[in-house]
């Protein structure tokens, strides 16, 4: 299990507290310091069952600078979103937990963290599409 965090984020700290309380084994990735590649983002999005624009933090200053609000949200524009997220990782929702080979969760709530913990390893039937974060 890996969790992508920003240590300054209260939701990330909360997720880590829950993982620690549950004695979960995990690795931490400070994704602002170690940005994911486009390929890693594609894989996480596949696991989430979401598109890039579903996990973009549109309120970030860099989102306004890039004019993301006006970008097309379609297959043709997908690579543009992925490249922006890889170049500007502050755009990525947090925390994201990759729980096993086939699942990931945008763990912004305690319930989402616990859901990630409750998935048996290798059980793809436990993976459910996630409602895009608000």
Domains and CATH numbers, the chain: 2-120 (3.40.30.10)
| Distance of alpha carbon 44 from alpha carbon 32, whole angstroms | 16
| % of residues, the chain, pLDDT over 90 | 84
Q: What is the pLDDT of residues 2-16, one digit of tens each?
A: 999 999 999 999 999
- DSSP-based three-state secondary structure for 74: coil
Q: Classify the C-alpha dihedral 25-31-34-37 as positive or negative.
A: positive
Q: How confident is the model at residue 59 (pLDDT cuts 50, 70, 90)?
A: very high
Instruction: Please list, residue by residue across 73-90, b when 16 or more beta carbons sit within 10 angstroms of its beta carbon and e when fewer do.
Output: eeeeebeebbebbbebbe
Q: Classify the C-alpha dihedral 108-103-98-18 as positive or negative.
A: positive
pLDDT attached to residue 100: 74
Q: What is the pLDDT of residues 73-114, one digit of tens each?
A: 999 999 999 999 999 999 999 999 998 768 999 999 999 999
User: How far from 92 is each of 4, 108, 120, 123, CA to CA, in Å?
Assistant: 10, 12, 26, 26
Catalytic, out of 2, 4, 8, 9 = 9
pLDDT at 134 over 90: no
Active site residue 12: no
pLDDT at 127 over 60: no
């Amino acid at each position: 299990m890996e969790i992508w965090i920003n240590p300054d984020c209260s939701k990330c700290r909360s997720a880590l507290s829950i993982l620690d309380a549950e004695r979960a084994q995990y690795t931490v990735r400070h994704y602002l310091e170690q940005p994911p590649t486009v390929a890693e983002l594609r894989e996480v999005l596949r696991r989430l069952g979401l598109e890039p624009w579903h996990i973009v933090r549109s309120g970030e200053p860099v989102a306004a600078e890039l004019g993301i609000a006006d970008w097309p949200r379609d297959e043709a524009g997908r690579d543009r979103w992925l490249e922006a997220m890889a170049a500007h990782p502050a755009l990525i929702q947090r925390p994201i937990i990759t729980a096993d080979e086939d699942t990931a969760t945008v763990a912004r709530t305690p319930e989402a963290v616990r859901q990630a913990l409750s998935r048996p390893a290798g059980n793809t039937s436990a993976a459910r599409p996630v409602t895009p974060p608000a």
